[in-house]
A and B are shown apart, each in its own frame.
Chain A
Amino acid sequence: MKGLIAATYAPMHKDTSINLGIISEYGQFLKNNKVRGAFVNGSTGDFVSLTTKERKDIITEWAANKPNDFFLVNHVGHNSLKEAKALATHSAQKVDAIAALAPYYFRLSSLKSLLEYCKEIASCAPNTPFYYYHIPVLTGANFLMHEFLGLASQEIPNFAGIKFTNNNLIDYKYCKDFDNGAYNILFGFDEILLASLPLGAEGWVGSTYNHLAPLYLSIIEAFQNNDHKLAAALQEKSMKFVDTLNAKGGFNGAAKSFMKVLGVDCGPSRFPHVTLSIEELKRAENELDDLGIMAYTSKF
């Protein structure tokens, strides 16, 4: 699994029921913009607001309609290990990989408990690559991942890598180098993608790959051409994109709403995220246009 992987939204109808009908088009939209895969039911996919049945329905629809040559990852983490295992079992034959983030209500206090949690889930889909989803700012599971790798590589036969959503680049580099690069460490911090490039990153998972795939591909290209000034200027656009939408009542809801502007109407967001009105969306589009960002958006 390489390249840009979009953390996808849970498309909804106006009444916030799940809109499965748009998923095949959504997948094709990503593929047409050179996104290599979808990371479904994650933080961006609002898994915390979805019922288990909804999470299953969404991934079933993705599996039935995914574009050719396109990675599909299902996030199955849950505060209830029982639910997480049920989700893992359900998607085992449907996806290219499963991922889980740590329980976040009763937070984990040791690497050992994290290992147990991941091992239990991974064993429900023994033939499917398993990724640990490291996002300490939201889970509180603030462990060093290269230490966790030492355990997981021994204990979990289908352990494949980490979705690394943290800005600890030292830890990231150690993970990349672990066992001569045996594990796929996907970088998960869109606004500093550029910083991951000299460290050897080859795969990225994030929400703004839904909106700005051409921008990130330009950053990678500029870096490869040794045009670091340009790469930094482009990276700044991605930061501004996040700031602009974040200022509209919160990034998650605003960015989901913004998909409508790009031609994929993902519908409203559930509590506590906001849903932007057409006036707010138009204003956001104008501001992003003035910042020179609209030219880099994914095209329908």
Chain B
Amino acid sequence: MKPHSNLYKDNLLNNVIPFWERHSLDRTNGGYFTCLDREGKVYDTDKFMWLQGRQAWMFSTLYNQVEPKENWLEIAKSGVDFIRHKGMDAQGNVYFSLTANGQPLVQPYNIFSHCFAAMAFAQYGIAAEDQEYKELAKKTYLNILLRKDNPKGKYEKGTLARPLKSFALPMILSNLVLELEDILEPNEVERTIDFAVREVMEVFLDGKSGIIYEFTKPDGSLEDSFNGRLLNPGHGIEAMWFMIDIAVRRNDRELINKATETIVKILEYSWDEEYGGIFYFMDSKGHPPQQLEWDQKLWWVHLETLVALAKAYEQTQNPEISAWYTKVHDYSWQHFSDPQHGEWFGYLNRRGEVLLNLKGGKWKGCFHVPRAMLQCWKAFERMENKGIIK
């Protein structure tokens, strides 16, 4: 392992964040433009609430963890105000997308819109010491918990003929609850952590193969169907760094080891031996996946893997993790990073060539790149300070 804290810190503060500060702010309506081309020009003005929440969260987090810059707080405020005043229906449900000036386009069918809004409200509330936003964060969070068994509610298209539960929800809860830790009752935090860890490590983590499945039956058993066989390696690996964070907080060595083991298992399963990189989707039985984009290489998958490997190495100093880190680091920085115009590319084809040269769109915003940079910066800084890395 090489020291890398400066690489991440420098990229975060001098490349990635300036890119979003320069190109994404909607000074007229508040909130952010996320559809940015390679150079950062806005090519579509719609506002996707996932990304509004994530960017507001990111700038609040920078304010809370890096430096209390007024400018960062203002950028965050512009996002949370937009979500609160335009992005929610009368019942406090968060729409999926809106026009630039805040007319709802897509109904609040997606529970993750609520998750990212809650994260943003919480961190902004802490940053601005704003009680109202803290309360709103708590309310939104409780709403998520109560909807967790039927996240889409009336917008669910599927029948109940083949009920499956989704890994995404306990996964995100395991991260969300730590984001809201200072706002919730301590026993509420522990309860949600217990639930999330149990679901992730005992239900969706398959004991036999050691990898994470994206869907199981309600009783936790596997199902032989497109969704039942679906693997999303990036999701599984990202969840493992959430688990490591929880394990560190609880001083739970067993969980650290299990999560580390799972990262390796998933990587062994999903690394493309021919072209390098991690597949986006796979089928557990090797059948053709339903997702036509299954063999693309995505930015977030690789960034979350870097975070997971950095944290796993910090906790275990396992040489196997170090070897994987080097492999993923080299691939990612070579293929995704765009030194010419800043930020990272999002979508590569299987061979690692840029497929879409956007820097932001409907799903890529100011989130995975800066969050991973911040996480890796801090993890390597701790390792360098502790002498784990010379």
Contact = CB atoms under 8 A, between A and B. Distances in A.
Contact of A264 (B142, B145, B150): B150
A282 B218 contact: no
A249 interface: no
Interface in A81-100: none
B292 interface: no
Greatest chain A CB density within 10 A among B91, B149, B154 is at: B149
B139 interface: yes
A278 B139 contact: yes
Nearest to B139: A278
A28 B161 contact: yes
A286 B146 contact: no
Contact of A279 (B142, B156, B191, B219): B142
A281 B146 contact: yes
Contact of B150 (A24, A31, A263, A286): A263
Contact of A28 (B91, B160, B218): B160
A29 B149 CA distance: 11
Contacts of A261: 146, 149
Contacts of A31: 160
A57 interface: no
A32 B154 contact: no
A33 B191 CA distance: 25
A104 interface: no
Nearest to B217: A299
B145 A282 contact: yes
A157 interface: no
Contacts, number: 55
Give the interface residue-count category, chain B.
Answer: 20 to 34
B163 A300 contact: yes
A163 to B, nearest CB: 27
A32 B150 contact: no
Best-buried of B150, B160, B188 by chain A (most CB within 10 Å): B160
Given A263-B150, A289-B191, A278 B163 contact: no
Given A261-B149, A278-B146, A32 B163 contact: yes
Contacts of B146: 260-261, 278, 281-282, 285
B159 A278 contact: no
Interface centre among A14, A32, A264, A278 (most CB of B within 10 A): A278
A263 B149 contact: yes
B195 to A, nearest CB: 9
B142 A22 contact: no
Given A278-B142, A279-B142, A300-B163, A262 B154 contact: no
B142 A282 contact: yes
A145 B340 CA distance: 87
Nearest to B142: A278
A173 B235 CA distance: 58
B227 interface: no
B139 A300 contact: no
Given A261-B149, A262-B149, A25 B156 contact: yes
Interface in A22-39: 22, 24-25, 28-29, 31-32
A21 interface: yes
A192 to B, nearest CB: 29
Contacts of A285: 145-146
B143 interface: yes
Contacts of B160: 25, 28-29, 31-32, 300
Nearest to A299: B218
A260 B146 CA distance: 7
A265 B90 CA distance: 16
Interface in B128-178: 139, 142-143, 145-147, 149-150, 153-154, 156, 159-161, 163
Contacts of A28: 159-161
Contacts of B147: 260, 263, 265
Contacts of A278: 139, 142-143, 146
A222 B331 CA distance: 58
A81 B156 CA distance: 41
A300 B218 contact: yes
B368 to A, nearest CB: 30
Nearest to A24: B159
A299 B161 contact: no
Nearest to A33: B218
A31 B163 CA distance: 12
Contacts of B219: 299
A29 B156 CA distance: 13
Contacts of B161: 28
A281 B145 CA distance: 10
Contacts of A265: 147, 150, 153-154
A175 B150 CA distance: 42
A162 to B, nearest CB: 32
A285 B150 CA distance: 16
Interface in A232-266: 260-265
Interface string A258-300: 0011111100000000000011011001100100000000011
Nearest to B158: A25
A21 B149 CA distance: 18
B188 A286 contact: yes
Interface string B210-244: 00000000110000000000000000000000000
A300 B150 contact: yes
Nearest to A29: B160
A73 B159 CA distance: 23
Contacts of A262: 149
Given A281-B142, A281-B146, A282-B146, 5 more contacts: A28-B160, A28-B161, A261-B149, A264-B150, A285-B146
- Across the A-B interface, the 10 shortest Cβ-Cβ residue pairs: A263-B150, A263-B149, A28-B160, A300-B149, A278-B142, A299-B218, A282-B142, A300-B150, A260-B146, A261-B146
12 contacts: A24-B159, A32-B160, A32-B163, A32-B218, A260-B146, A262-B149, A263-B147, A263-B150, A278-B146, A281-B146, A285-B145, A299-B218
